[in-house]
Amino acid sequence: MTPLASFRNEFLAGAQTGLTAVIALIVVYLSPWSHMVGFAGIGSLIALYGRFESPAGRNRMLLQAAAIQTASVLIVSSAKFAGLPEAGLLLLLAFMCGIYLFICVTGRYGAPGPLIFVFAAGSCIGGDVTPQVILERTLVTGGATLLGWFICMATAFLREVPSPGRAFPKRLRHRPSAID
């Protein structure tokens, strides 16, 4: 176990995620779409990304993560509605896992990496899906991701920034590959 690079930033990311989850879960639970509360929880998890990025870098990373998270729900829900059999849905999920890994490595997302995107996609495999359910899942997930982005941007002034005496971990450099 290595010591935390910045306890403040680690704690703040957890607090931002927790605050996003609490607000999103309460709002959705009290709404007519309370059956979509799980998707609000999944959307709120994007606040974990970019803890050591610059403010502009974190803004960009959170918006990208919000788009990926929301698209994951839309794509797998749509595939389920289209009648893709369970084996096909699992193959789609496996394919998406590879895409998420590529995005997270080349985009240098760091922890939690592709895991949360996989959770979002995997959560859509079960249940009955109608066009209305696809719309509800997508809007609730997207709304929670944007709430997370807003909370992170509104509390960015609380973050610790690197200084000459205190450097943060460097983002992982990806090795050149045949894809580059």
Q: What is the pLDDT of residue 9?
A: 83
Is residue 127 within 8 Å of residue 133, measured between CB atoms?
yes
Q: What is the pLDDT of residue 53?
A: 83
Q: What is the pLDDT of residue 52?
A: 79
Q: What is the pLDDT of residue 169?
A: 58
pTM (2 d.p.): 0.86
158-163: Cβ within 8 A, 24+ apart: 158/8, 158/12, 159/8, 159/9, 159/12, 159/55, 160/6, 160/8, 160/9, 162/52
Could you tell me what percentage of the chain is helix, strand and coil, using 3-state DSSP and rounding each to the nearest 5?
65, 0, 30
Is residue 113 within 8 Å of residue 98, measured between CB atoms?
no
Q: What is the pLDDT of residue 55?
A: 82
Q: What is the pLDDT of residue 104?
A: 92
Q: What is the pLDDT of residue 5?
A: 66
Torsion of CA 77, 81, 84, 86, to 10 degrees: 60
Query: Can you read off the two tokens belonging to residue 48?
Result: 């974990």
Alpha-carbon span 58 to 67, nearest angstrom? 14
Query: Can you read off the two tokens belonging to residue 176?
Result: 């050149």
**Where exactly are the structural domains of the chain?**
8-158
Within 8 A by CB and 6+ apart from 27, the residues are 40
Q: What is the pLDDT of residue 57?
A: 87
Per-residue pLDDT of the chain (180 residues; tens, 9 = 90+): 666 667 888 899 999 999 999 999 999 999 999 999 999 999 999 999 988 788 888 999 999 999 999 999 999 999 999 999 999 999 999 999 999 999 999 988 888 889 999 999 999 998 899 999 999 999 999 999 999 999 999 999 998 876 666 666 554 444 444 444
CA neighbours closer than 13 Å in the CB half-sphere of residue 83? 0
Alpha-carbon span 57 to 50, nearest angstrom? 8
Residue type, 95: F
Q: What is the pLDDT of residue 164?
A: 64
Is residue 156 within 8 Å of residue 47, measured between CB atoms?
no
